[in-house]
Amino acid sequence: MEWIYLFSQFTEEALLFEGLVLFSLICGYTLFWLIRKRRYGITQQAIPAAPVQIFLNDLITSSEKLHIQLFGMIAHSKLKKNLEKIKITQEEEIHALQTKIQNLEAQLKKYESMKTK
């Protein structure tokens, strides 16, 4: 009942103008969705995985580069120190294994010399 009272307060010209405005808004909205539907096609079509994967890999690479640019000085120096420690420990292990091999070879020679006597 309130709608009837509200619209009865306006003149016929105002109601016609409001009707045209509402009709043009509805037509514009419908036209927008029709153009959008034609431009993007059916949304149920599956997007191939390869382009998405390439895009995501590129995005990850770019974000890592940006992260290195922003915070890389600290992280890079820590990474270098860690790599140097790993390299030193690996070299020490290699040296220890080489000395063990040399000791075993020496023991083998002694054992062979004792066996031949």
pLDDT > 90: percent of the chain: 11
Where in the sequence is the domain holding 34, given as residue range(s)? 1-41
At residue 26 the predicted structure's pLDDT band, cuts being 50, 70 and 90, is very high
Number of domains in the chain: 2
Which pLDDT score is estimated for 71?
73
**Do 55 and 47 form a contact (C-beta atoms < 8 A)?**
no
Establish if 63 belongs to a structural domain: no
Instruction: Report the distance separating Cα 104 and Cα 106, nearest Å.
Output: 5
Establish if 15 belongs to a structural domain: yes
Please give the structure tokens belonging to residue 114. 């004792």
- Amino acid found at 4: I
What is the tens place of the pLDDT at every residue in 6-15?
767 777 888 8
User: Is the predicted pLDDT of residue 86 greater than 70, yes or no?
Assistant: no
Establish if 35 belongs to a structural domain: yes
Establish if 10 belongs to a structural domain: yes
User: Is the predicted pLDDT of residue 28 greater than 90, yes or no?
Assistant: yes
Please give the structure tokens belonging to residue 11. 């003149």
Mean confidence (pLDDT) of the chain: 78
